[in-house]
Amino acid sequence: MTRPNDPADDRVVVVGGGLSGIATALGAALHGRSATVFEAAGLLGGAAAYSGGQVWVGASHVAAREGIEDDLDRAERYVRDIARRHPELLDDQAMRRWLATAPEAIRYWEQAGAVSWTVIRGLADYHAEADGALASGRYLTSRPFQGSALGPWRARLRVSPYFRTGTTYEDMFARGRRGTTTAGPPGGDVLTLGAGLVAQFLARALREEGVEIQLQARVTELLRDSAGQVVGARAETAAGPVERFGPVVLATSSFDWNPALVRDLLGLSPEDFGSLAPDSVRGDGIMLARAVGGAVARIPATCVPMVPGWRLPDGTVANGPEYAMPHAMIVDGSGRRFCNDSYWVDLVPRALDPADRHLPFFLVVDEQHHRKYGLGSVPPGAEYPAGLMTTAPTLRELGRALGVDGQQLEATAARFSEHAERGEDPDFGRGSIGFVNQFSGDPAHRPNPVLGPVSEPPFHGLRLLLVGTGIGCSGVHADADGHVLDESGAVIPRLYAVGSCAATTTFGSGYNSGMALSRGLTLAYLVAAELGGYLPESHGSAGDPRLVQMADGQEGGHHLSRLLHGQLVRRHDEVIQAGVARIGAVQPVGVCDPRTISPVHQAHRRGLVEPAVLLHPAVPGRPRCHHPHMNRARMPGQDDRADPPQDDPAGGSGELPERGLRRQPELVLVVEIDTRHLQAEQRLGLGRADQQPERERLSELVAGLRRGDGHRQLFGHRGRDGPVHEGHVQLTG
């Protein structure tokens, strides 16, 4: 098909209304682009809304302001260590981009008013033994949020069936996760964890007039023009098909509810697999990408975050921390334990080991467990519903009823119980993982919150499943910036992936709770910035061929100024100061555009330019900059002419107005920006005598562009560390 020629229709088309999809649409709107979110289900939030709302970030400003020390080198050592089992699966560039950009992204979202972050104190990295692990400080979540702030959209938000509404991590750590699920509902409509995180982003997105959200709109086709380029998407709705045109961002979750993809990518049948994710998680993003030539990257099933769960009598799947609590153990068909059965990170690779598979496997508990904890919706001590648990007076009889070697089950329970009394597990290390003990154990049980003897009759057991959470790991192959790749590794223009439909090559074979949401929010930040023509602070690279080849009019490459910002601000210690000022501060007809002002602010933050460059030509009627990295937005009751605070010369207030600045007009052409720089210098009084060589170099560049030269050397500048960085640009407009 052919897309309409009306440029007003060229919006950002987001497939999936989960956290990363909403964030992408919000980011696009803040950068001046309209966005449409197509959500297949009738509720927003996706798998993220069902989650614990954990966002894993190394060296964040949130940890720093709470007095926790961390650094990116240490975070990188941790990710590399947990991914060492299959180093070939780790995309080094994607990993580095994520780690470096995540702190910038979560700061941006907070400054944009999309979330208020807090550290989940006392929650340790999964792999405490790994190099670079941190005992506390990398898990972030949102502060409690009043659901009523969403207005009519509150009824369109998913709320997790696995966490009591309003539960906080402080509650869980004080009473145990199971203790919070069996308590009565709190007063009011306070949203926390995953639902609260999504709610805050949704509330902020709803304030942007350029964001359109369509529910019960399942995207069934990516639209392409006569040349095969992606130009939009078609969604099926109750009112018929709906089409939107523009670059497409795949923000769906994984493939949990697609049995064919589960068998293909995980090698599991329905008898051994279930899902906690919403049933709208059907692999749509993967199938849409495949249909236009997108590649799928495979991660072994042994590396996928799946947890033990069980099938209820009505056929639905449930999960809870009960398998990790005292007086419980997991055995295979032989009646033997085979892993640290409180910890999926150990259970999954051992259960699915191709050379020593342990399927099916079973949960075995005693009456102490039943009396103290119950199971899922069954309160402590209540009768199990018919068809859920198998009960027997002895372990031997229970084994026979489950199809397990009963004699061996007795021997296994005897050894396990002997050591559990002392709070230890010399066979598999149950009770040694701080994250599990804190998140899933019974804080009142001593000496170990996840260990207790399985010794009091009657005994109860059931067959377990491996249960997905919407993070399949295998998925759409995307690069470090979220561009979807084809089988040859080439970028498919105008197609991006930010959700868990994208393969987790960012972490390879390693995973830690919170990494999926962290990557999703980071990619949403990167993709929205690119589509808005703004290069994020962490992203400059003189050696990246995509940056130096971007041409005027190409999607994601709005003009030479974007290239200059990334390289001048990020790649040089001794930056061409006047060059940044001239290119960043000159605005066509005085309009303040976030794609050009933000990098100037960043340069000032790093001490590379003087505060004077943040002043703009005095043009009557020039709007204030509505962006957290620009002049602070006018708040109610505040004089629009008020000076910015002294501690922030750029005027970054962390607050935004009800509506973001629309594009009016587009950036001028490259040549127009560059040919104005001398006049701008005179008007703003920029430049010093010692910058004369840099001014002459820029003048030479402009002269070359005027002559129509193809590739021109942009600059060659020796930084303090010695190497010479060079960049080139081709004029096409």
With cut-offs at 50, 70 and 90, classify the pLDDT of residue 533. Answer: confident
Q: Torsion angle of alpha carbons 564, 570, 572, 578, nearest 10°?
A: 50
Q: CA of 473: how far to CAs of 194, 251, 254, 492, in Å?
A: 20, 14, 8, 21
pLDDT given for residue 216 in this prediction: 98
Helix axis angle for 19-30 and 515-531, nearest 10°, is: 30
Angle at 512 between CA 506 and CA 515, to 5 degrees: 50
Characterize 349-378 residue by residue with b for buried, 16 or more Cβ atoms within 10 angstroms of its Cβ, and e for exposed. bbbbeeeeebbebbbbbbbbbbebbbbbeb
Q: Please choose, from the candidates 208, 246, 203, 207, the residue with its C-alpha nearest in 3D space to the C-alpha of residue 29.
A: 208
Q: pLDDT tens digits, residue range 380-435?
A: 999 999 999 999 999 999 999 999 999 999 999 999 999 999 999 999 999 999 88
- The arithmetic mean of pLDDT across residues 105-130, rounded, is 94
Which alpha helices (DSSP H) does 631-691 contain, by range? Answer: 670-675, 677-684
Q: CA of 630: how far to CAs of 39, 111, 549, in Å?
A: 32, 11, 28
- Whether pLDDT at 551 is above 80: no
Please tell me whether the peptide bond between 628 and the residue prior to it is cis, using omega within 30 degrees of 0. no
Q: pLDDT tens digits, residue range 187-206?
A: 579 999 999 999 999 999 99
Q: Write down the pTM of the prediction.
A: 0.75
Q: What are phi and psi of 245, to 5 degrees?
A: -115, 135
DSSP-assigned letter for residue 612: G
- Neighbour tally for 467: CB within 10 Å: 21
pLDDT given for residue 534 in this prediction: 67
Query: Which of the two residues, 366 and 601, has the higher pLDDT score?
Result: 366
Poorest-pLDDT segment among 82-86, 240-244, 573-577, 602-606: 573-577
**pLDDT, the chain, mean:** 77
Strand order through the sheet with 240-245 = 218-224, 230-237, 240-245
pLDDT given for residue 171 in this prediction: 83
Angle at 323 between CA 84 and CA 48, to 5 degrees: 65
Angle at 189 between CA 185 and CA 192, to 5 degrees: 85
- Neighbour tally for 391: CB within 10 Å: 17
Q: pLDDT tens digits, residue range 211-238?
A: 999 999 999 999 999 999 999 999 999 9
CA-based diameter of the chain, in Å? 92
Q: Which CATH architecture has domain 306-468?
A: Alpha-Beta Complex (3.90)
Scan for tokens 């449930």, then name that residue.
Answer: 318
Q: Please choose, from the candidates 180, 187, 189, 188, the residue with its C-alpha nearest in 3D space to the C-alpha of residue 155.
A: 189
Grouping H, G, I as helix, E, B as strand and the rest as coil, residue 159 is: coil
- Neighbour tally for 507: CB within 10 Å: 26
Query: What distance in Å separates the CA atoms of residue 447 and residue 142, rounded to the nearest whole number?
Result: 32
Q: pLDDT tens digits, residue range 577-618?
A: 223 323 333 222 222 233 333 333 333 333 333 222 222 222
Q: pLDDT tens digits, residue range 261-275?
A: 999 999 999 999 999
Grouping H, G, I as helix, E, B as strand and the rest as coil, residue 728 is: strand
Query: What distance in Å separates the CA atoms of residue 472 and residue 264, rounded to the nearest whole number?
Result: 12
pLDDT given for residue 377 in this prediction: 87
Query: What distance in Å separates the CA atoms of residue 364 and residue 462, rounded to the nearest whole number?
Result: 7
**Residue 720 contacts by C-beta under 8 Å, 6 or more apart in sequence?**
573, 574
With cut-offs at 50, 70 and 90, classify the pLDDT of residue 186. Answer: low
Poorest-pLDDT segment among 242-246, 278-282, 559-563: 559-563
- The answer to whether 312 and 318 are in contact (CB under 8 A) is yes
**Amino acid letter, 106:** I
- The arithmetic mean of pLDDT across residues 143-170, rounded, is 92
Query: What distance in Å separates the CA atoms of residue 93 and residue 628, rounded to the nearest whole number?
Result: 28
Give the DSSP H/E element, type plus range, for residue 693: helix 692-707
Q: pLDDT tens digits, residue range 310-343?
A: 999 998 999 889 999 999 999 999 999 999 999 9
With cut-offs at 50, 70 and 90, classify the pLDDT of residue 184. Answer: low
Query: What distance in Å separates the CA atoms of residue 268 and residue 309, rounded to the nearest whole number?
Result: 15
- Range list for CATH 3.90.700.10 in the chain: 306-468
Q: Please choose, from the candidates 99, 59, 60, 97, the residue with its C-alpha nearest in 3D space to the C-alpha of residue 79.
A: 99
- Whether pLDDT at 680 is above 70: no
Scan for tokens 């996760």, then name that residue.
Answer: 177
Helix axis angle for 577-585 and 594-605, nearest 10°, is: 150
Q: Could you tell me which CATH class the domain 9-258+273-287+471-528 is placed in?
A: alpha beta
- The answer to whether 510 and 77 are in contact (CB under 8 A) is no
- Whether pLDDT at 564 is above 80: no
Q: Please choose, from the candidates 251, 324, 304, the residue with its C-alpha nearest in 3D space to the C-alpha of residue 509.
A: 304
- The answer to whether 394 and 95 are in contact (CB under 8 A) is no
Q: pLDDT tens digits, residue range 453-504?
A: 999 999 999 999 999 999 999 999 999 999 999 999 999 999 999 999 999 9
Query: What distance in Å separates the CA atoms of residue 184 and residue 198, rounded to the nearest whole number?
Result: 24
